[in-house]
Amino acid sequence: MTGLPRRLLQAVVVLWAAFTVSFVILYLLPGDAVLAKLGASEGGLTASAADLTRERAAYGLDDPLLVQYGKRLLAALHGDFGRSITTGENATSLVLNALPSTLAIAGLGLLFAVLFGGSVAVLSTYTRSRWLSQALSTLPPLGNSLPTFWVGLMLIQVFSFQLGLVPALGSSGFASLVLPAVTLALPTGAVIGQVLAKSLRTQLSEPYVEIVLAKGASRARVHFGHALRNAALPALTLVGVVTGTLLAGSVVTESVFSRDGIGRVTATAVGSQDIPVVQAVIVLAALFFVTINLVVDLLYPVLDPRVRTVARV
């Protein structure tokens, strides 16, 4: 099997593995979702053992491990991950309801990240000022090393509490998207900037650059017309990885900005061992990841004639 069918099969295996590993890990943890839910009240459980058994049975938690796994897998194939043990809502719809809010900040965040990372990389390699180039090169490592949590709080402190430009809380309107998106964009943009700058430098020292220059092309044409196009390939590969970073970042960002979304749902569900919800989130995230990487792979031949040739052979 080669090409697309092979990639699709791999994708299915990844999804199945994500489903299975999440089930096993959550199952192995001490305690269960019913205990987490009923014990959340101050001072813990007051229910009798019989009540607990009945509650567990209602969620199928009393079945043997393999039976539970089999039932869940079968239902999941039909898009049904079961009911959240914590809230009783349908896990699939709970996750899908939280999705748009996360997509909004992640999408805007990715846009900011590409703009920020791209301009830092291009400027730091294009400028003739050694000082400016070095100053710009320090930005990506800095952006990557600042904790997301701290960045979010600082942005809120300055732009919301001090200057009053944007609301600190909630998901109302475009204004509430900006700070969370910037927070998410910082580490992501930093990685993009770092990789793009490095591969731009490599490209600019390739022999073809001298030939193009000798043929009379301007510096700008060499930079944007030739080097950037070639340097963009490794950065594009990153977009796949970055999707994961954005989803992981949403866990912290959504808490700091008091937003609903996949991150908040994940944090709560993992904390309360709510297996149906965690599995719905993980399979959705895996699906996302797999799809984006597939798209990126398919884009290579479009952007790079060399890959196209190899693929044909």
Partner 1 sequence: MFGPALRPLRAVGLIALLGLAACGTPTAADPGAAGPPRPGGTLRLGISSNPDCLDPQQIGTNAGLNVGRQLVDSLTDQDPTSGAITPWLAEKWDVSPDSTGFTFHLRQGATFADGTPVDAAAVKASFDGIKALGAKAQLGSGYLAAYKGSTVVDPSTVRIDFTAPSAQFLQASSTMSLGVLAPAAYAKSPEQRCQGDGLVGSGPFVFESFKSNQQIVLTKRKGYAWGSPLWRHQGAAYLDRVEFRIVPEPGVRTGSLGSGQLDAITDVQPVDEPQFAGNGFTEPVRANPGIVFNLQANVTRGVLTDAKVRQAVQKGVNRQEVTDTVLTKNYKPATSILGSATPLYTDLSASLAYDPDGAKKLLEDQDWTPGQDGIRVKNGQRLTAKVAFSAVFNQNQSVLELVQQQLRKIGFDLQIELHTTAETQALTLAGNYDFLWYNTTRSDPDILRQLFSTKSGNRSKLTPGDPLDAALDKQAATVDPVVRKPAVADAQRIILDQAYSIPVFELTQVWGLGPKAHDVDFEGSSRMRLFDAWVSG
Given CA atoms 263, 269, 275, 276 in this order, what sign does their dihedral have?
negative
Q: Judged by CB under 8 A, does residue 20 bind partner 1?
A: no
CB 185 within 8 A of CB 274: no
- The structure tokens 């990715």 sit at 110
- Residue 34, interface with partner 1 (CB under 8 A)? yes
The span of 67-75, 119-127, 150-158, 214-222 binding partner 1 (CB under 8 A) equals 150-158
Query: By rule CB under 8 A, what count of residues binds partner 1?
Result: 68
Asked if 79 touches partner 1 (CB under 8 A), the answer is no
248 binds partner 1 (CB under 8 A): no
Q: Is 272 in the site for partner 1 (CB under 8 A)?
A: yes
Cβ nearer to partner 1, comparing 102 with 188? 102
Query: Which position among 114, 238, 256, 280 is part of the footprint of partner 1 (CB under 8 A)?
Result: 256
Q: Are the CB atoms for 186 and 253 separated by under 8 Å?
A: no
Choose which of 15, 22, 23, 33 interacts with partner 1 (CB under 8 A): 33
User: Judged by CB under 8 A, does residue 93 bind partner 1?
Assistant: no
d(CA 252, CA 248): 8
Q: Which residues contact 282 (CB under 8 A, 6 or more apart)?
A: 18, 19, 22
Farthest-apart Cα atoms in the chain, separation: 86
Q: Rg for the chain (alpha carbons), in Å?
A: 24
Smallest separation, CB 26 to partner 1 (Å)? 10
Q: Which of 93, 157, 291, 309 binds partner 1 (CB under 8 A)?
A: 157
**Does the protein bind partner 1 through residue 270 (CB under 8 A)?**
yes
Q: What is the DSSP string of 96-157?
A: HHHHHHHHHHHHHHHHHHHHHHHHHHHHHHH-S-HHHHHHHHHHHHHHHHS-HHHHHHHHII
Find the binder of partner 1 among 14, 36, 178, 294 (CB under 8 A).
Answer: 36
Among 2, 28, 46, 302, binds partner 1 (CB under 8 A): 46
Give, as ranges, the residues between 185 and 244 that touch partner 1 (CB under 8 A): none
Tell me how far, at minimum, the Cβ of 73 lies from partner 1, in Å.
23
Hey, what are 313's tokens? 């052979």
Q: Is 250 in the site for partner 1 (CB under 8 A)?
A: no
Out of 8, 12, 41, 65, the only residue in the binding site for partner 1 (CB under 8 A) is: 41
The token duo for 99 is 């999705």
Q: 240: closest CA among 6, 7, 1, 79?
A: 7
C-alpha pair distances (Å), 104 with each of 89, 122, 178, 185: 23, 27, 10, 13
Q: Does 156 bind partner 1 (CB under 8 A)?
A: yes
144 touching partner 1, by CB under 8 A: no
Quick check: 89 binds partner 1 (CB under 8 A)? yes
Q: Which residue lies nearer to partner 1 by CB, 226 or 274?
A: 274
| Residue 174 binding partner 1, by CB under 8 A | no
**Do 104 and 177 touch, CB atoms closer than 8 A?**
yes
Q: Does 106 bind partner 1 (CB under 8 A)?
A: no
Q: Name which position in 141, 147, 225, 234 contacts partner 1 (CB under 8 A).
A: 147
Q: What is the dihedral of CA 99, 106, 16, 26, to 10 degrees?
A: -70
Cβ atoms of 179 and 256 within 8 Å: the answer is: no
Binding positions for partner 1, rule: CB under 8 A: 29-49, 51-52, 54-55, 83, 86-89, 94, 97-98, 147, 149-150, 153-154, 156-158, 160-162, 164, 167-171, 251-252, 254-261, 264-265, 267-268, 270-273
